[in-house]
Amino acid sequence: MRYEKGHKEATRKHILDVASRRFRKDGIAATGLACIMKDAGLTNGAFYAHFPSKAALVEEVLITSLEDFNNEFVSRLGENVSQLHEFIRVYLGTEHRDEPKSGCPTSALVAEIGRAPKPIRKAYTTSIEDFFGRVSESMNGTDPALARQQGIALFALAIGSLQLARAVTDKQLSEEIMQAGIEVAIKFTA
> How many angstroms separate the CA atoms of 120 and 63, rounded?
10
How crowded is residue 52: how many other Cβ atoms within 10 Å of its Cβ? 9
> How many angstroms separate the CA atoms of 159 and 190, rounded?
19
Q: Which amino acid is at 174?
A: S
Does the reported pTM lie above 0.85? no
List pLDDT tens digits, range 43-90. Answer: 999 999 999 999 999 999 999 998 888 887 777 766 567 778 888 999
SS3 helix, strand, coil % of the chain, rounded to 5?
Answer: 80, 0, 20
Question: Domains, the chain, ranges and CATH?
Answer: 54-189 (1.10.357.10)
Contact 112, 181 (CB under 8 A): no
List pLDDT tens digits, range 84-121. Answer: 888 899 999 999 999 999 889 999 999 999 999 999 99
